[in-house]
Chain A
Amino acid sequence: MQDNLKSSSYQRLEQKSKYTNMFLRWFLYFVLILFASYFIFPLYVMVVTSLKTMEEIRQGTLLSWPGGLNFDSWAVAWGGRGYGAGDTFLRPYFWNSIKMVVPAVFFSTFIGAMTGYVLTKWRFKGDSWVFLFLLFGCFIPFQAILLPMARTLGALGISNSIVGLVLVHTVYGIPFTTLFFRNYYVSVPTELVKAARIDGAGFFKIFFKILLPISAPIIVVTVIWQFTQIWNDFLFGSTFSFGEAAPIQVALNNMVLSSTSVKEYNVDMASAIIAGVPTLIVYVLAGKYFIRGLTSGAVKG
C-alpha cells in the first residue's frame, strides 16, 4: 500500500520531470481501471451467462461472448416453463416483495419523520435519552430477536404472511428513519417553529406547513435506504416466511439451491439479475441520495 501511495502522490510534485509525471499518471489510471474491472467483472459475467445457452456455457469460458441475444433463460426465470409442480419462477415472489416493500417503507418513513420532528422541535427533558434509546435499535444483531419475533407473529396469526413481514420491517426500520429525520431536522432553525407557535400554529400545522415542504431530500434518502434494505433482506424473509409468501431474495436462494435436475447457470444468473435490478436502478438514478443514506445510516451497512 505504501508503495502505491508514494507513486500516486509524486505525480503532483512540481519538481518531478514531465516523463515521471506522465508515467505516474498512467499508473494511477491503470490501478483505478484494474479495480474497476474487479468490481464490474461479476456483473459482466452474470449478464453474459444469462444470455447463453447451457451448451455455450459448457463450451466457452466465463468471459466469452454469447452467440446471440438469447433471452430464454430470462423468460424461464421470470415465468417458469409452464409445467406444474416443482416449476419455481420469480414472478409471484417479485410481487410479494413489492407488496411487502411499499407499505413497510411508507410506515417506517412516516413514523421516523414524526419522531424526528418531535425529538428536534418539541424538545423535552430527557429527549436525548429517548433518541439514544431508539438509536440503539440500529445496532442489535437481529439474531437476538428472531425467536421471540417468530412466536409473536404466530400469536398474532400473521406468521408466514406478507403482513407479518411488513410489521417486522416497519419496526426494525424505525431506528434508522428516526436517525435520518432527527439529524436533518436538527439543522432546521428552531426560530421558524417558535415564530409559528407564537402565531398560534399547532403541532401538525407546523409540521405540514414548515417542515414537510423542505423535507424532500431527506425523504428521498430515507425511502431509498429503506427500500434497499427491505428489498435485499434475506434473514427476516427466510425466517418468517416460506412457500408462497416468500419475498424475492428467499425465492432466488431456493431456486439456485434446488438440486432437482441439471444446474442451469444461465437461469440462475437471469434470476439473480431480476432480483437485483430494482435496487440497481434506484442506485443508478439516485446514487447521490443512496450514498448519503449509506454514510449517515451506515451503522447497518
Chain B
Amino acid sequence: MFKWLEKNLPKIVMAPAVGLIGWFVYGFVLWTLYISFTNSKILPKYELWGVGQYEKLWASRKWLISVDNLLVFTALFLIFCIVIGIILAIFLDQKIRAEGVLRTIYLYPMALSFIVTGTAWKWILNPTLGIQKMFIDWGFENFTFDWLVNREMAIYTIVIAGVWQSAGFVMALFLAGLRSVEDEIVKAAKIDGAGLFTVYWRILLPMMRPVFFTSFVILVHISIKSYDLIVALTQGGPGISTTMPALFMTQAAFHKSQVGLSAASAMMMFMAVAAVIIPYLYSELRRENAR
C-alpha cells in the first residue's frame, strides 16, 4: 500500500488539476453542446431536439447583427492594434531616451479592467460634457462627436477603447521580438549597404512572423470574447446596434430564458475560437518539438 502510494505520488498530486479541468472545462463544454441540441427554455431539458436552436440562431436578426459587429470590430481592432504596436515598437527600438517611462505609459491600460476602461471612455465620449463640449468650448462651434449615442457609429467607440487598452500589449510583443534578433544580422545587412528602412522592412519585420501570428491569435481571441467593454460602454446600444456574440449569449441565458439558444450561440463562439486556436497550438507544439 505504502509502496503503491509512493510510486503513484506524482500522479496523485496531478490529479486535482486534471480532474478539475476535465470536469469544469471538457465536461461543461460537452454539456453545453448537448443542451444546444435540445429545446431548453428556462430550465435545461434533456430530450434531443436536433439543430433547431442553430436554425433559430441564424435566423435571428439580433444574432446576425452580433456577428456583423464582431467582424467589423475584430478587423479594426486587429489593424489598429498591430499597426500602432509595430510603430511604437520600432520607434522605441531607436535608442530612445526615457524608453522605460514611455513603455510603462503605453502598457498601463492592460493592468486595468475593461469595466474601468469602459467607464472612463464613456465619460470622455459622452456628447453633453465630453470631447464634443471640449471642442465647442475651444471655439469649434459646430463640432459634433456623438458616436456613443449614434447607431451607425457606436461600434467604433468600442474600437477606440479596445485599441487603447490592447495596442501597448502588441508593442511589448514586437519590442521583445525585435530585441531578440541577433545584432550580427542587422550589422551584416548594413555592411551590404542596406538602409535602416530596408533593414526593418525586408529583414526584421519578415523575421517577426511568429510575433504577428501570436498577436493575431491573441487579439482575435480577445475580440471574440469581448463582453465587459461593451457592457460598460454601450450595453449593446443604442438599441441593439453594438451587441456582440458574448453579450447575446449571456442575455439569452440569464435574462430571456432561452437556455437552448444561448447554448447554441456559446457553441458558435467556441468553434470560432477553436478555428483560430487549434492551428496555433499545433504550430507552437511543432516549434517546441523541433527545438
Contact = CB atoms under 8 A, between A and B. Distances in A.
A164 interface: no
A137 B25 contact: yes
Interface in B169-228: 169, 172-173, 176, 195-197, 199-201, 214, 217-219, 221-222, 224-225, 227-228
Contact of A4 (B22, B87, B217): B87
Nearest to B172: A291
Given A5-B201, A36-B102, A148-B28, A175 B227 contact: no
Nearest to A266: B123
Contacts of B90: 5, 8-9
B106 A35 contact: yes
A171 B24 contact: yes
B78 interface: no
Contacts of A8: 90-91, 94
Interface residues of B, number: 104
A144 B266 contact: yes
A203 B13 CA distance: 10
Interface of B: 6, 9-11, 13-14, 16-18, 20-22, 24-25, 27-29, 31-32, 35, 44, 83-84, 86-88, 90-92, 94, 96, 102, 104-117, 119-124, 129-131, 133-134, 137-138, 164, 166, 168-169, 172-173, 176, 195-197, 199-201, 214, 217-219, 221-222, 224-225, 227-228, 231-232, 235, 245-246, 249-250, 253-254, 259, 262-263, 265-267, 269-270, 273-274, 277, 281, 285
Interface of A: 1, 4-6, 8-13, 28-29, 31-32, 35-36, 38-43, 45-46, 49, 57-58, 61-63, 111-112, 114-115, 117-119, 122, 124, 130, 132-137, 139-152, 171-172, 174-175, 178, 202-203, 228, 231-235, 238-239, 249, 252-253, 256-257, 265, 268-269, 271-273, 275-276, 279-280, 282-284, 287, 290-291, 294-295, 298-301
